[in-house]
Amino acid sequence: MPSMITNAFLFILVFIGASLYGPIKRSGIFRGITKINVEGSKTIPLVQCEDLHVHNGLVYTACQHSDRAQDRTKWFPPMGIFDVIDFHTHGIGLYPDAENLFIFAVNHLPNPDHIKDPQSPAARSQIEIFKVSLPVDGSLPTTATHVKSVLHPAIRTPNDILPTGPSSFYVTNDHFYRDGFMRVLEDVSGPNYGRWSDSVHVDASGTKTVAHQVVSGLHNNNGIMRGMDNEVIIMSAAGGTMYRLKDDPVSKNLTLIKDVPLDSSTY
């Protein structure tokens, strides 16, 4: 029955083609780079910047140090790269109160247990909280003081932070799988499948850090921010989807309102 075999073969080809179309389009391989609204602006050389936020007309951004020889091509757990160990920032979040600006930064540190036990994860990422005292005379702040490092098993593969207070925050875990084939499958199977990652809320105000999962069943939780009507927005990076969520102010749990599909990867 050759025709049935041909049909089955064609069906498989179409299925593979259809499955790859979304990931390839979202990857942007065939999209050109266009400059938008940059007339009269100045270029500042920065290295591998992940995130930026604006407060009082100042841009706070998380970049790699330009003097460092080791960049993301050697150590960057969020991309499954574990060759050389180094300090690496990722998403940041800002929380202003009357006198201070708190900066929350993901820090992808190596896992000390990994040296003894190669089966344990290579990275043990944590969140750093810094405090910037805003000068009363309105002059530019120049230093940030480290307040604390926040470590919790629920903070697994942190990507971005949305602060909810001077020592509490939402953090997205961008992957369920840290590396290997399943991680690739997790990336390309979105946005409809591979909805395996979660986001957590962390309260580090007390002596013991408390964290709980606030939403699961989303794909590749990446950037997190406030949206219109005080909604919480989470982006599925590889899935090209914007999730609109509602937060419960008491429990901090997030409820999904809507998936908004986009045609490019979104951070």
Ligand X SMILES: *[C@@H]1O[C@H](CO)[C@@H](O)[C@H](O)[C@H]1NC(C)=O
- Which residues participate in catalysis according to the annotation? 90
For ligand X, the binding residue among 25, 253, 262, 267 (CB under 6 A) is 253
- Which of 154, 100, 156 lies closest to 129 in space, CA to CA? 100
Please report, as residue ranges, which positions from 56 to 95 form the binding site for ligand X (by CB under 6 A).
none
Is residue 149 involved in binding ligand X (CB under 6 A)? no
Q: Which is nearer to ligand X, 60 or 196 (CB)?
A: 196
Q: Are 127 and 146 in contact (CB under 8 A)?
A: no
Tell me how crowded residue 258 is: count the other CB atoms within 10 A of its CB.
Answer: 10
Q: Is 92 annotated as a binding residue?
A: yes
Tokens of 13: 């080809």
User: Measured between alpha carbons, how far apart are the two ends of the chain, in Å?
Assistant: 49
Q: How far is the CB of 170 from ligand X (least distance, A)?
A: 13
Q: Which helix (H) or strand (E) holds 53?
A: strand 47-55
Please report, as residue ranges, which positions from 231 to 250 form the binding site for ligand X (by CB under 6 A).
248
Q: How far is the CB of 221 from ligand X (least distance, A)?
A: 14
Q: Which is nearer to ligand X, 108 or 201 (CB)?
A: 201
Please report, as residue ranges, which positions from 196 to 235 form the binding site for ligand X (by CB under 6 A).
212-213
Q: Are 26 and 239 in contact (CB under 8 A)?
A: yes
Q: Is 161 annotated as a binding residue?
A: no
Q: In the chain, helix, strand, coil percent, each to 5?
A: 15, 40, 45
- Which of 76, 236, 217, 226 lies closest to 157 in space, CA to CA? 76
- Which of 170, 250, 235 lies closest to 204 in space, CA to CA? 170
Q: How far is the CB of 173 from ligand X (least distance, A)?
A: 13
Q: Which is nearer to ligand X, 124 or 201 (CB)?
A: 201
Q: How far is the CB of 197 from ligand X (least distance, A)?
A: 14
Q: Which is nearer to ligand X, 150 or 211 (CB)?
A: 211
What gap in Å lies between CA 100 and CA 98, rounded to an integer?
6
For ligand X, the binding residue among 19, 56, 145, 251 (CB under 6 A) is 251
Tokens of 234: 């989470």
User: Which residues make up the interface to ligand X (CB under 6 A)?
Assistant: 212-213, 248, 251, 253
Q: Per the annotation, where are the binding residues?
A: 92, 159-160, 222
Q: Per the annotation, where are the binding residues for Ca(2+)?
A: 92, 159-160, 222
